[in-house]
């Protein structure tokens, strides 16, 4: 019974994680990191430890530290999340096909 109660709550927390990621922007691009396709993995453990794998549009992105720290701070602000680990990865390499349709339209790719 306890497990059944936990699953909807965990799903709600995962939805909050996505909502929060949609508030993080690369200062040079008017689209959030989630819709840009920069978030590769969101892993919320049963103890509410959160691990996120993300990339950047370019490995030498001048705003890298700012973006990663913004992601970390915003995810840490979610009440139920116990801890946050943000992993910066570059495999697979990001390309514009990873963006949502909305992001492609916003940036004029459609």
List, for residues 36-82, the tens digit of each pLDDT value: 999 999 999 999 999 999 999 988 989 999 999 999 999 999 999 99
pLDDT score for 1: 42
User: How many residues make up the chain in this entry?
Assistant: 110
Helices (H), 2-109: 2-21, 64-76, 101-106
Contact assessment for residue 61 and residue 110, using Cβ atoms and an 8 Å cutoff: no
Q: How far apart are the C-alpha atoms of 8 and 13, rounded to whole Å?
A: 9
The model's confidence at residue 28, banded by pLDDT at 50, 70 and 90, is confident
Are 9 and 47 in contact, with CB atoms under 8 Å apart? no
Alpha helices in 29-63 (DSSP H): none
- Please give the structure tokens belonging to residue 38: 């920069």
Please name each of the domains of the chain with its CATH number: 6-107 (3.30.300.130)
């Amino acid at each position: 019974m306890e497990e059944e109660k936990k699953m909807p709550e965990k799903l709600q927390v995962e939805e909050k994680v996505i909502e929060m990621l949609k508030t993080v922007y690369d200062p040079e691009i008017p689209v959030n990191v989630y819709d840009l396709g920069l978030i590769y993995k969101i892993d919320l453990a049963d103890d509410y430890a959160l691990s996120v794998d993300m990339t950047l549009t370019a490995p030498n992105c001048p705003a890298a530290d700012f973006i990663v720290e913004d992601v970390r701070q915003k995810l840490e602000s979610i009440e139920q999340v116990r801890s946050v680990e943000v992993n910066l990865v570059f495999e697979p390499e990001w390309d514009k096909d990873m963006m949502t349709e909305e992001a492609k339209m916003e940036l004029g790719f459609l």
